[in-house]
């Protein structure tokens, strides 16, 4: 009787994510990180990617005016920080952009949009 392949859980029916996980964890290991740090780092990177995908989905269905209000609030928060206490977050080099600046994010990034200063369009 021929050996049978182990059945994969339903969430792992596609091999592309598994191959990507193999490459990513291999890269982390090649950097000399311990198995524990590789596992924790991999977990954090997967959480980040999932959060970005979720947020991109919100952009597709959200009202553009609501998105602008949100980013205006974020910008206002960072602009209100005291520069003597938070020099990196409030300096001229800050990554926090004014609401009127176009952002190169979301599912249609780079398609007819202008990237913020210092970042090339793809």
Residue 111 belongs to a domain: no
The percent of the chain in helix, strand and coil, each rounded to the nearest 5, is: 55, 0, 45
Range of the domain at 77: 63-102
Angle among Cα 61, 109, 98 to the nearest 5 degrees reads 85
Task: For residues 78 and 91, state if they share a domain.
Answer: yes
Q: What is the pLDDT of residues 1-38, one digit of tens each?
A: 666 776 766 665 667 778 888 999 999 999 999 999 99
Could you give the C-alpha distances from 116 to 44, 88, 94, 121, in angstroms and in order? 27, 18, 12, 9
Which residue carries 């949009």 as its tokens?
113
Residue % of the chain over a pLDDT of 70: 65
The predicted pLDDT at position 89 comes to 84
Task: For residues 57 and 90, state if they share a domain.
Answer: no
* Model confidence band, residue 108 (pLDDT cutoffs 50, 70, 90): very low
Residue 5 belongs to a domain: no
As for how many domains the chain has, the answer is: 2
Q: Structure tokens of 42? A: 């991999």
Residue 116 belongs to a domain: no
Statement: the pTM of the whole predicted model exceeds 0.85: no
Residue 7 belongs to a domain: no
Task: For residues 40 and 24, state if they share a domain.
Answer: yes
């Amino acid at each position: 009787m021929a050996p049978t392949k182990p059945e994969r859980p339903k969430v792992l029916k596609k091999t592309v994510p598994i191959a990507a996980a193999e490459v990513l964890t291999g890269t982390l290991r090649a950097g000399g990180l311990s198995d524990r740090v590789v596992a924790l780092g991999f977990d954090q990177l997967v959480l980040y990617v999932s959060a970005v995908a979720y947020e991109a989905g919100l952009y597709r269905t959200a009202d553009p005016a609501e998105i602008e209000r949100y980013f205006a609030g974020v910008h206002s928060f960072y602009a209100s920080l005291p520069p003597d206490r938070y020099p990196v977050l409030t300096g001229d080099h800050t990554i926090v952009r004014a609401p009127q600046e176009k952002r190169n994010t979301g599912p249609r990034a780079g398609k007819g949009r202008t990237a913020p200063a210092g970042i090339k369009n793809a």
